Structure 1
Amino acid sequence: MPSTVSVYAGVDLAADPKRTGLATIRDEGERVVVEDARLGAGDDAIISVVGGARKTGVDVPFGWPRPFVEHVAAHSAGTLGSAPDSGPAWRRSMTARRTDAVVRERFGLVPLSVSADRIAHPALRWSVVEARLRDGGTDCPRDGSGRVCEVYPAAALRSWGLPFRGYKAADASAVREGVVDKLGEIVDWNGFREECVRSDDVLDAVIAALVAREAAAGRTLAPEPGDLDLALSEGWIHLPLAGMPH
């Protein structure tokens, strides 16, 4: 074992703590050992795990589209000016972040809209966790350059050439087992294999931790300079570069 061992964490954040997956992995160089992988995590548990990890991947939008935020603020204040129209192009600007557009362009996947889908509920929860982390002195800019980064497990699986559709269904344990077996080329499941086969939320938490490890090594798609300002406000999905994690 190397003298310096890094620990990474992953969170598959749900609005309900009972449905939140949480995982920690230990990087031993050629192998990654799962230290914990479980279902059920409150805010305090998440904050504790982030504090003990070099980097944590979180499967939840870190922010809202800037035009949406500005629109809602103006609407609330009664200062909203008239728009040319409210057609599809305008609505897309309200519901898709810059990072969502990049994921769609690069991978053909469409992340859930934090403005218009149910993913807003866990995103609201994360906004509180983020504030607590920040108040506690944790460096957590939304572009992922600090101790936490936003991840998208399905896109990570696609980048790694693994099944990325249909693995989250209740009756898809066979698909999850295939993913777990393939990840076993680098991951020592350390007794947590069956939990990841049984629960897609727990598996996503482990994938989130693996992406955090890739991000820490500079092996994810970070924002281009022109996108950095938006990423610091809206969040940025860190996508692992092609090829299995190593």
Structure 2
Amino acid sequence: MLTVGVDLAAEAVRTAVAWVEWSDGAASVRDVVVYADDELIVEAIAQADKAGVDCPLGWPDRFVSFVSAHRVGDVEVPGGLGRDWRRDLALRVTDLAVHERTGLRPLSVSADRIAHPAMRCAALLSRLAVRTGGRVARDGTGRVVEVYPAASLKEWGLPYRGYKRTENAVARGKVVDALTAAAPWLDFGEHEAVCRRSDDATDAVVAALTARAAALGLATLPAPGQAASAVTEGWIAVPTSPLPMLPG
């Protein structure tokens, strides 16, 4: 099995892609590319058995309805215009589910800068649909699954905070050290160095590992009451089993 992880930013300069090959109870990082353009991402996902994308795959349904209504001047709002009402516009069903499970709160795709990568992601999914000849499912049931590396690391009992940005190389090194200790079956090869230099590369590898968990059914799925929203908003797959389960 080949899994791909994509740490998606609005531009290629902060985007990384990782390829992880799985066989005989082991895994190896086949390649990691930092500064990944659209063509590379689409082709990588098209060749993967499962791809984990660290970016929202959709917007909150209520936000989409709100903006559509506002466009034609027909917005209906509850009395008081309180914070809870705005939260319903800002957060997806999956964002609330991740927060309930892990205590982490994903960035709001409708009210934060993560919207810029999400716009790029929407275009990439469209190109991927043309490339593969079929619509890309956003709920994780198809080739692509949405992931959240910090949540994956936390669920696996690994360091998950403070490793972002160039100046946090020491903390990032501890994440890589913890990952290699917890997963001795994972061979980084020559690509360990780039993961220590770049948090984008590290997250791409974690995204590829999470894609494996999703492919094996070892990650969260929408409950019946969440399934309809997951189809349009996207669904973040959070690992439900420890790392040693991934090689099979």
Give the TM-score of the pair, scaled to structure 1. Answer: 0.94
User: Any stretches of 5+ residues in structure 1 without a counterpart?
Assistant: 1-5
* Structure 1 residue 67 corresponds to structure 2 residue 62: yes
Residue number in structure 1 paired with 2:52: 57
Residue 82 of structure 1 and its aligned partner are, at CA, apart by 4.3
2:144 pairs, out of 145, 148, 161, with: 148
1:230-245 correspondence runs (5 A): 230-245=229-244
* Structure 1 residue 157 corresponds to structure 2 residue 153: yes
Give SS of 1:23's match.
strand
**Cα deviations across residues 148-192 of structure 1 (Å, max 9, x unaligned)?**
000000000000000011011322222222222232223101200
Residue number in structure 2 paired with 1:36: 31
RMSD of Structure 2 on Structure 1 (CA): 1.2
Identity fraction in percent: 46
**Cα deviations across residues 43-94 of structure 1 (Å, max 9, x unaligned)?**
1111100111101000000011110000000101222234323210101000
1:60-139 correspondence runs (5 A): 60-136=55-131, 137-138=133-134
Distance in 2, matches of 1:167 and 1:31, equals 26
Distance in 2, matches of 1:182 and 1:31, equals 17
Residue number in structure 2 paired with 1:217: 216
1:70 partner letter: S
Distance in 1, matches of 2:83 and 2:185, equals 44
Count of matched residue positions in the alignment of Structure 1 and Structure 2? 241
**Cα deviations across residues 192-226 of structure 1 (Å, max 9, x unaligned)?**
00100000001100100000011000000011121
Q: Which stretch of the first structure deviates more once superposed, 139-148 or 228-237? A: 139-148
- Paired residues of 1:138 and 1:147 also in contact (CA < 8 A): no
Distance in 2, matches of 1:232 and 1:91, equals 22
- Paired residues of 2:10 and 2:116 also in contact (CA < 8 A): yes
- Paired residues of 2:159 and 2:178 also in contact (CA < 8 A): no
Give the TM-score of the pair, scaled to structure 2. Answer: 0.94
